[in-house]
Amino acid sequence: MERTFIMIKPDGVQRGLVGEIIGRFEAKGFTLVGLKSLSVSRELAEEHYDVHKERPFFGGLVDFICSSPVVAMVWEGDGVVACARKLIGATNPLSAERGTIRGDFGVSVGRNLIHGSDAIETAQKEINLWFSEKELLSWEPTVNAWLYE
Protein backbone atom coordinates (compact mmCIF):
# COMPACT_ATOMS: atom_id res chain seq x y z
CA MET A 1 0.00 0.00 0.00
CA GLU A 2 1.20 3.55 -0.80
CA ARG A 3 2.81 5.66 1.92
CA THR A 4 3.66 9.35 2.25
CA PHE A 5 5.72 11.50 4.59
CA ILE A 6 3.92 14.36 6.34
CA MET A 7 5.48 16.88 8.71
CA ILE A 8 3.63 19.48 10.77
CA LYS A 9 6.08 22.37 10.75
CA PRO A 10 6.98 24.48 13.82
CA ASP A 11 4.20 27.01 13.10
CA GLY A 12 1.55 24.28 13.01
CA VAL A 13 2.75 22.88 16.34
CA GLN A 14 3.09 26.31 18.00
CA ARG A 15 -0.39 27.32 16.82
CA GLY A 16 -1.98 24.24 18.36
CA LEU A 17 -3.09 22.73 15.05
CA VAL A 18 -1.60 19.23 15.53
CA GLY A 19 -4.95 17.64 16.45
CA GLU A 20 -6.84 19.47 13.71
CA ILE A 21 -4.32 18.41 11.05
CA ILE A 22 -4.05 14.77 12.15
CA GLY A 23 -7.86 14.68 12.30
CA ARG A 24 -8.16 15.60 8.65
CA PHE A 25 -5.99 12.67 7.55
CA GLU A 26 -7.85 10.31 9.90
CA ALA A 27 -11.27 11.51 8.80
CA LYS A 28 -10.35 11.08 5.14
CA GLY A 29 -9.64 7.41 5.81
CA PHE A 30 -5.86 7.18 5.72
CA THR A 31 -3.90 4.99 8.14
CA LEU A 32 -1.28 6.37 10.54
CA VAL A 33 1.77 4.09 10.44
CA GLY A 34 4.41 6.37 11.99
CA LEU A 35 4.30 9.35 14.37
CA LYS A 36 6.85 11.26 16.44
CA SER A 37 7.60 14.78 17.61
CA LEU A 38 11.16 15.99 17.44
CA SER A 39 13.51 18.95 17.36
CA VAL A 40 15.05 18.86 13.90
CA SER A 41 18.84 19.02 13.51
CA ARG A 42 20.34 21.35 10.92
CA GLU A 43 21.77 18.33 9.13
CA LEU A 44 18.35 16.65 8.79
CA ALA A 45 16.61 19.87 7.68
CA GLU A 46 19.29 20.55 5.06
CA GLU A 47 19.06 17.00 3.74
CA HIS A 48 15.25 17.11 3.65
CA TYR A 49 15.22 20.38 1.68
CA ASP A 50 18.31 19.55 -0.41
CA VAL A 51 16.46 20.18 -3.72
CA HIS A 52 15.99 23.80 -2.65
CA LYS A 53 19.59 24.43 -1.53
CA GLU A 54 20.27 27.02 -4.26
CA ARG A 55 17.06 28.96 -3.59
CA PRO A 56 17.26 32.31 -1.75
CA PHE A 57 14.84 31.12 0.95
CA PHE A 58 16.85 27.96 1.79
CA GLY A 59 18.75 29.34 4.83
CA GLY A 60 15.64 30.89 6.34
CA LEU A 61 13.65 27.71 5.72
CA VAL A 62 16.24 25.54 7.47
CA ASP A 63 16.42 28.02 10.41
CA PHE A 64 12.62 27.92 10.66
CA ILE A 65 12.32 24.11 10.58
CA CYS A 66 14.95 23.87 13.35
CA SER A 67 13.46 26.69 15.45
CA SER A 68 10.86 24.68 17.38
CA PRO A 69 9.52 21.08 17.46
CA VAL A 70 7.81 19.44 14.50
CA VAL A 71 5.52 16.41 14.24
CA ALA A 72 6.65 13.85 11.66
CA MET A 73 4.25 11.23 10.34
CA VAL A 74 3.84 8.49 7.79
CA TRP A 75 0.34 7.95 6.39
CA GLU A 76 -0.77 5.01 4.29
CA GLY A 77 -3.59 4.43 1.81
CA ASP A 78 -4.49 4.11 -1.86
CA GLY A 79 -3.31 7.23 -3.67
CA VAL A 80 -2.19 8.85 -0.40
CA VAL A 81 0.76 10.78 -1.89
CA ALA A 82 -1.27 12.86 -4.36
CA CYS A 83 -4.33 13.05 -2.11
CA ALA A 84 -2.30 14.36 0.84
CA ARG A 85 -1.01 17.17 -1.38
CA LYS A 86 -4.65 18.05 -2.12
CA LEU A 87 -5.59 18.01 1.57
CA ILE A 88 -2.56 20.28 2.23
CA GLY A 89 -3.24 22.78 -0.57
CA ALA A 90 -1.04 25.10 -2.65
CA THR A 91 2.40 26.15 -1.37
CA ASN A 92 1.26 29.76 -0.87
CA PRO A 93 -1.59 29.68 1.67
CA LEU A 94 -3.10 32.82 0.15
CA SER A 95 -3.66 30.90 -3.11
CA ALA A 96 -4.61 27.62 -1.43
CA GLU A 97 -8.29 26.64 -1.70
CA ARG A 98 -10.60 26.89 1.31
CA GLY A 99 -11.01 23.44 2.78
CA THR A 100 -7.31 22.70 2.47
CA ILE A 101 -5.02 22.90 5.51
CA ARG A 102 -2.96 25.80 4.15
CA GLY A 103 -6.06 27.50 2.71
CA ASP A 104 -7.89 27.35 6.03
CA PHE A 105 -5.09 28.21 8.44
CA GLY A 106 -2.22 30.11 6.76
CA VAL A 107 -1.39 33.50 5.27
CA SER A 108 2.25 33.27 4.14
CA VAL A 109 4.45 30.94 2.12
CA GLY A 110 7.21 30.87 4.74
CA ARG A 111 4.69 29.78 7.42
CA ASN A 112 2.59 27.26 5.53
CA LEU A 113 2.15 24.81 8.38
CA ILE A 114 2.84 21.44 6.83
CA HIS A 115 5.01 19.44 4.44
CA GLY A 116 3.85 16.55 2.27
CA SER A 117 5.91 14.45 -0.16
CA ASP A 118 5.36 15.48 -3.80
CA ALA A 119 5.70 12.06 -5.50
CA ILE A 120 5.85 8.36 -4.65
CA GLU A 121 9.63 8.25 -5.14
CA THR A 122 10.17 11.35 -2.97
CA ALA A 123 7.91 9.85 -0.31
CA GLN A 124 10.05 6.71 -0.09
CA LYS A 125 13.21 8.80 0.21
CA GLU A 126 11.71 11.09 2.88
CA ILE A 127 10.26 8.19 4.92
CA ASN A 128 13.72 6.57 4.98
CA LEU A 129 15.33 9.87 5.96
CA TRP A 130 12.97 10.60 8.88
CA PHE A 131 12.03 7.15 10.19
CA SER A 132 13.83 3.90 10.93
CA GLU A 133 12.16 0.65 9.88
CA LYS A 134 11.29 -0.23 13.49
CA GLU A 135 9.45 3.07 14.02
CA LEU A 136 6.93 2.15 11.32
CA LEU A 137 3.90 -0.06 11.84
CA SER A 138 2.36 -2.57 9.53
CA TRP A 139 -1.31 -2.83 10.50
CA GLU A 140 -4.69 -2.86 8.89
CA PRO A 141 -7.44 -0.93 10.68
CA THR A 142 -10.63 -3.00 10.91
CA VAL A 143 -12.50 0.03 9.53
CA ASN A 144 -10.77 -0.52 6.17
CA ALA A 145 -13.53 -2.99 5.34
CA TRP A 146 -15.84 0.07 5.32
CA LEU A 147 -13.44 2.29 3.40
CA TYR A 148 -12.36 0.00 0.57
CA GLU A 149 -14.58 -2.08 -1.71
Question: Could you give the C-alpha distances from 135 to 35, 100, 113, 132, in angstroms and in order?
Answer: 8, 28, 24, 5
Among 3, 24, 48, 115, the active-site one is: 115
What does the chain come to in residues? 149
Question: For the chain, first and last CA: distance in Å?
Answer: 15
- Per partner kind, with CB cut-offs from 5 to 8 A, the member of Mg ion, ligand IDP, none near residue 115 is ligand IDP
- Per partner kind, with CB cut-offs from 5 to 8 A, the member of Mg ion, ligand IDP, none near residue 53 is none
Among 1, 42, 57, 128, binds ligand IDP (CB under 6 A): 57
Among 18, 32, 44, 109, binds ligand IDP (CB under 6 A): 109
User: How far is residue 80's CA from residue 131's CA, in Å, rounded to a whole number?
Assistant: 18
Q: Per rule CB under 6 A, is residue 47 in the interface with ligand IDP?
A: no
User: How far is residue 124's CA from residue 57's CA, in Å, rounded to a whole number?
Assistant: 25
Least distance (Å) between residue 57 CB and ligand IDP:
4
Q: Are 89 and 103 in contact (CB under 8 A)?
A: yes
Is 4 annotated for ligand binding? no
Q: Which residues bind Mg ion (CB under 5 A)?
A: 118
Catalytic annotation, residues: 115
Show binding-site residues for ATP: 9, 57, 85, 91, 102, 112
